[in-house]
Structure 1
């Protein structure tokens, strides 16, 4: 049996638990037959098979897989249609893992996961008994999960034993050997050609020259080794500012008058490197938006340097780029009054030089569009970079280039990422967003991962007890906001429906202008495309707000 993660997310009124349980088709069929068959002999075979496939432990296994991917008991009982696209893809992944195929094919399985779910998935796959083939751009994930690397290049496949680090080392050695062999062959060819040139005309040596000519003609040229072009980019360094850049004092932040995070106490200095940890839905994006001044505190104090510039990257900005514009057009729109040389210089920092700077965004790869988004947000040399999942569209080499760029950057960095390798190499402060607040995590990233795998969500014993007490208090406070939270959810759902309707209308207008609604009928294709990008961005933001508010409501009802 071959299992492949479909790109289309499941939907409907079934729950995640029901969807996962039904993924084992054999079990589902046998369970029905066990209740309907009247043949004693057949029933005996059915029960024997059910025992052989551990059918009676299936509900517990399904619940455990969903829990590992971030679904608590209440979330497992909700309908699929109440979840965002990313969470629906988690359900699809859970169903695939539960079905236990003989060949498990995974294409970028971590893209919709947070760090905690990635850690669980690694642990699960390490114990998986069948064959796994995975496409991934995460170095640590590959190091921890696979024992061979298949490298595809130039129409050829090469198998390397070991994880990604071993692959890099062996490939470098192989390329060096190829180059050495090519150099040696070039020397041999030169010597043969020199001998042939000197001795072909002499009767006494003509026979030997002919022999050398045959040797030369039979010498198969060693193909030039192909090495991927080195990618590098850099962030412009900011002017110096006196610390602190930002101070939070007992701040509260949320949406539509409903608090998501409370009692926030935090200080950011110009040289800080902060990683925000915690499961999706806990409020990492809410905190990032507060620090980026996209949200204002509902209560408490937030002060920031008046001269501070902020560059804020979200994974949705890649989708907001106008596919009909080039990188140089995007940058020129934002760098008003800048000289063409200055515009090209900023693009050049991120690998957009020559023809790449004038190529339409629609023809760029996902990684190139992500680099363009990074170039756009750093055009003013910000003092603070806030990066929310910047690696989703980047391959391994681009991620390494991003790590180097961040480490060379002299400003402050706040990072949300499920890429452990990046966090390990760039962050020197860990902040755990959990239980309705954010606190410094006392330990290393390895400590945090150990806590996550232990099942305590990243807390030590003492911290866990303290957080449970604080969590009860937070839940009691949140219950008083239950009505307001439900109202906020309804308003967000109405906004989401409105944006979805407009986006669908724009899609129809772009496909067949004759069927366009009156409000879109006179718009050019370029204007329709720009409007769709704007609406899509609003829809993504609305879905993010819905997720945060939904998770807050679950915390109240838990």
Structure 2
């Protein structure tokens, strides 16, 4: 059991943790959440002893082993397999002793202990963990220094999981993982025998793994039972209760203030008025649920282009002449397309994204773009490479030469950088703020196609939801690479699987893909991705597998389109009620044009609702049969 008792931590004169307390359930799986900058990493550093608290204590059983990934990635000539095996210090020491021990009694004890800790099955267990995290047999035998920083951090994670500490602390473990490895990790953590505390902003991971949510807000900790979705429901209920209580208190305060104002001057009621004035002074205001007003994403709408935006015909792309990473690429992208690229890291998702971003040329085949297309390309490296000594205003001014200051500040304002935040040095911004700044920079020209490669790594759960809403309201095309399947499910209409040296449409839903990756409901060889054209799919009693997946996809596409149109109508409603509050391209429209667009969007919503209804009824009829 891990107990956090009245922990207070002050850094740089600022109180990060203020008498925070919580007791984690024995062998429980607790998700630690909170806004960026709330102090989650500070709490973990305090638990592992890296920070000394100003008050309070961390309590654990004396012999409990605590495991946490060090910030420095493993390196050297060791292989990933060797590094993982060495993580079990007891096994390593006992094996070394068994080679040199001459005392037969001690040697017997050593071998007995090796058997007790299942030391001889350890190599197979280490290999399984590495495979789950994306290391094939050849990669397991390569030296660590041949890998990038992200892959080295995977080795560190594998070593920690292999060592099986009694209390396992994980800080954003999926940041260096692709979707496939994230799914494996979720499966692994579900059956982890020890106590788990995991910092994560991934809703699906928290829903799958966590049985408690520890919420850090305002320096305090609150433990909620259940998954993240359960926490969201409880938080919404508390917010509604607080709002009702605040409204009731405001009414009471107004009533008391009116009484004092009307009766203070009259001798007959002065005493009662004085009493009510004291009552009013003692009444502590009920605080509203904390929300971050600067958490904003508002992508500028591009001017219209005729479809297609991009056409690819038997194209190939790679880095070495004659050795393409991807070949036989056939893809068409139209305005308002929402495409998610699936596949393991190393299969070529980023290569395809760079080709679409015009950072690479095809080796063969053809690739054509609409002549006037503007493309915005976001990668996580842009976040890390922002100059530390510049301000958002300086960076945007340099990125928009010749534009008036009002346009520069307007683009920053779309992403929450107004007032002092626009002139704060980048080094002082949180990871989420830097991600918003990078997105503001790449969308400054109102791109027709937005390519996002892992845009959520620096964003908390609420910021991810805001990004999803902004993507659904965006009027250009979106190409998304993300291991956050919640975002993929809500923001993508089409799935493309990058695998086996090419990219092909994936006709199933994200749920189908998750089942495929985890080996559940596996299709036969002829139905696997990339081989569907070889043999006809086996028929179900009513529809073929392919027809059933296509029907499910129609339902999902209609739902996504309905959500996007509803958000657009909400923005149009707000603009009609208050033209001064209009956002995006609505600012430049006359009230009559806004009304016309409202009517067109409403008609489109009705069409989407009919399409959803038809597809849903057809699917229900098939499933019912």
Q: TM-score, normalised by structure 2?
A: 0.70
For the residues of structure 1 that align with 2:160 and 2:367, how far apart are their CA atoms?
A: 45
Q: Is the 8 A contact 1:448 1:458 kept in 2?
A: no
* Aligned length in residues: 469
In the alignment, structure 1 residue 376 sits paired with structure 2 residue 441:
yes
Q: Do the aligned partners of residues 195 and 279 (structure 1) sit closer, same or farther apart at CA in structure 2, a change above 3 Å counting? A: same
Q: Is the 8 A contact 2:302 2:476 kept in 1?
A: yes
Deviates most, 406-415 or 313-322: 313-322
- Decide which of 200, 207, 212 is 1:148's aligned counterpart: 212
Partner of 1:113 in structure 2?
Answer: 177
Q: Is the 8 A contact 2:515 2:522 kept in 1?
A: no
Partner of 1:521 in structure 2?
Answer: none
Name the SS for the 2:325 alignment partner. strand
Shift of 1:224: 5.0
For the residues of structure 1 that align with 2:368 and 2:127, how far apart are their CA atoms?
A: 44
Q: Is the 8 A contact 1:4 1:104 kept in 2?
A: yes
- Decide which of 343, 367, 392 is 1:278's aligned counterpart: 343
The one-character-per-residue Cα deviations of 1:512-557 (angstroms, maximum 9, x if unpaired) are: xxxxxxxxxxxxxxxxxxxxxxxxxxxxxxxxxxxxxxxxxxxxxx
Shift of 1:301: 1.1
Q: Is the 8 A contact 1:449 1:458 kept in 2?
A: no
In the TM superposition, what are the counterparts of 1:490-529 in structure 2 within 5 Å? none
Shift of 1:223: 4.8
Partner of 1:123 in structure 2?
Answer: 187
Shift of 1:92: 0.1
For the residues of structure 1 that align with 2:84 and 2:466, how far apart are their CA atoms?
A: 38
In the alignment, structure 1 residue 437 sits paired with structure 2 residue 468:
no
- Decide which of 325, 332, 337 is 2:397's aligned counterpart: 332
Partner of 2:89 in structure 1?
Answer: 25
Q: Do the aligned partners of residues 442 and 84 (structure 1) sit closer, same or farther apart at CA in structure 2, a change above 3 Å counting? A: same
For the residues of structure 1 that align with 2:455 and 2:275, how far apart are their CA atoms?
A: 61
Shift of 1:357: 1.8
Q: Is the 8 A contact 1:274 1:429 kept in 2?
A: yes
Partner of 2:408 in structure 1?
Answer: 343
For the residues of structure 2 that align with 1:214 and 1:234, how far apart are their CA atoms?
A: 47
For the residues of structure 1 that align with 2:266 and 2:301, how far apart are their CA atoms?
A: 70
In the TM superposition, what are the counterparts of 1:74-85 in structure 2 within 5 Å? 74-85=138-149
Q: Do the aligned partners of residues 155 and 250 (structure 1) sit closer, same or farther apart at CA in structure 2, a change above 3 Å counting? A: same
The one-character-per-residue Cα deviations of 1:106-147 (angstroms, maximum 9, x if unpaired) are: 011111111111111111111111111111111111111111
Name the SS for the 2:451 alignment partner. strand
Shift of 1:383: 1.0
In the TM superposition, what are the counterparts of 1:153-302 in structure 2 within 5 Å? 153-187=217-251, 222-229=286-293, 231-256=295-320, 257-302=322-367
Partner of 2:615 in structure 1?
Answer: none
Q: Do the aligned partners of residues 219 and 355 (structure 1) sit closer, same or farther apart at CA in structure 2, a change above 3 Å counting? A: closer
Q: Give the aligned CA root-mean-square deviation in angstroms.
A: 2.9
The one-character-per-residue Cα deviations of 1:259-308 (angstroms, maximum 9, x if unpaired) are: 11111111111121111111111111111111111111111111111111
Higher relative contact order (CA 8 A, sep 6+): 1
Name the one with the larger helix percent.
1
The one-character-per-residue Cα deviations of 1:426-458 (angstroms, maximum 9, x if unpaired) are: 111111111111111121111111111118999
For the residues of structure 2 that align with 1:277 and 1:395, how far apart are their CA atoms?
A: 22
In the TM superposition, what are the counterparts of 1:453-492 in structure 2 within 5 Å? 453-454=518-519, 461-463=527-529
Shift of 1:244: 1.3
For the residues of structure 1 that align with 2:301 and 2:77, how far apart are their CA atoms?
A: 51
For the residues of structure 2 that align with 1:36 and 1:141, how far apart are their CA atoms?
A: 46
For the residues of structure 2 that align with 1:203 and 1:305, how far apart are their CA atoms?
A: 83
Partner of 1:365 in structure 2?
Answer: 430
Shift of 1:351: 1.1
Q: Do the aligned partners of residues 393 and 205 (structure 1) sit closer, same or farther apart at CA in structure 2, a change above 3 Å counting? A: closer
Q: Do the aligned partners of residues 195 and 78 (structure 1) sit closer, same or farther apart at CA in structure 2, a change above 3 Å counting? A: same
Partner of 1:86 in structure 2?
Answer: 150
Deviates most, 377-386 or 350-359: 350-359
Q: TM-score, normalised by structure 1?
A: 0.78
Q: Is the 8 A contact 1:273 1:428 kept in 2?
A: yes
- Decide which of 389, 398, 419 is 1:354's aligned counterpart: 419
Partner of 1:502 in structure 2?
Answer: none
The one-character-per-residue Cα deviations of 1:475-499 (angstroms, maximum 9, x if unpaired) are: xxxxxxxxxxxxxxxxxxxxxxxxx
The one-character-per-residue Cα deviations of 1:48-79 (angstroms, maximum 9, x if unpaired) are: 32222221211111000000000000000000
Q: Is the 8 A contact 2:294 2:415 kept in 1?
A: no
Q: Do the aligned partners of residues 241 and 458 (structure 1) sit closer, same or farther apart at CA in structure 2, a change above 3 Å counting? A: farther
In the TM superposition, what are the counterparts of 1:376-415 in structure 2 within 5 Å? 376-415=441-480
Q: Is the 8 A contact 2:506 2:529 kept in 1?
A: no
For the residues of structure 1 that align with 2:506 and 2:120, how far apart are their CA atoms?
A: 40
Partner of 1:59 in structure 2?
Answer: 123
Q: Do the aligned partners of residues 57 and 199 (structure 1) sit closer, same or farther apart at CA in structure 2, a change above 3 Å counting? A: same
Name the SS for the 2:173 alignment partner. coil
Shift of 1:162: 1.6
Shift of 1:160: 1.3
